[in-house]
Amino acid sequence: MPSRPRRILLCVLCGVLFAPIAGAHVLRRAETPSLPGEPLSPLLVQTLRLDPASVRTLGIYSSRDGGDVDVVYGRRVGGAECLIAVGHGGTGAGCGGLFARGPVAILEGSSGGPKLERRSNLEVVGWARPNVARVAIVDTSGRTREAPLNENSAFVLEFGAAELQAGVGPAELVAEDKTGAELMRLDLSEPGS
d(C-alpha 87, C-alpha 90), whole Å:
6
Q: Do residues 131 and 92 make contact, with C-beta atoms less than 8 angstroms apart?
A: no
Residue from 54, 91, 150, 152 binding other proteins (CB under 8 A): 91
d(C-alpha 100, C-alpha 165), whole Å:
33
Q: Minimum CB separation from other proteins for residue 150, in Å?
A: 19
Sign of CA dihedral 47, 49, 54, 59: negative
Range in contact with other proteins (rule: CB under 8 A) among 18-26, 54-62, 140-148, 154-162? 18-26
CB nearer to other proteins: pick between 108 and 163: 108
CB nearer to other proteins: pick between 61 and 179: 61
161 binds other proteins (CB under 8 A): no
Q: Which of the 8 DSSP states describes residue 129? A: -
Residue from 83, 137, 147, 175 binding other proteins (CB under 8 A): 83
169 binds other proteins (CB under 8 A): no
Q: Do residues 29 and 38 make contact, with C-beta atoms less than 8 angstroms apart?
A: no
d(C-alpha 123, C-alpha 107), whole Å:
8
Q: Do residues 85 and 71 make contact, with C-beta atoms less than 8 angstroms apart?
A: yes
20 binds other proteins (CB under 8 A): yes
Q: Do residues 35 and 43 make contact, with C-beta atoms less than 8 angstroms apart?
A: no
CA distances from 58 to 33, 74, 98 (A): 19, 10, 14
CB nearer to other proteins: pick between 72 and 104: 104
Residue from 42, 67, 112, 160 binding other proteins (CB under 8 A): 112
The neighbour count for residue 155, using CB atoms within 10 Å, is: 24
117 binds other proteins (CB under 8 A): no
Range in contact with other proteins (rule: CB under 8 A) among 39-47, 54-62, 150-158, 160-168? 39-47
Q: Minimum CB separation from other proteins for residue 95, in Å?
A: 4
Q: State the amino acid at position 90 in one-letter form.
A: G
Contact set with other proteins (CB under 8 A) = 1, 6, 9-10, 13-14, 16-17, 20-21, 23-24, 27, 30-31, 41, 43-44, 46-49, 80, 83, 85-86, 88-98, 100-102, 104-114, 118-119, 186-189, 191-192
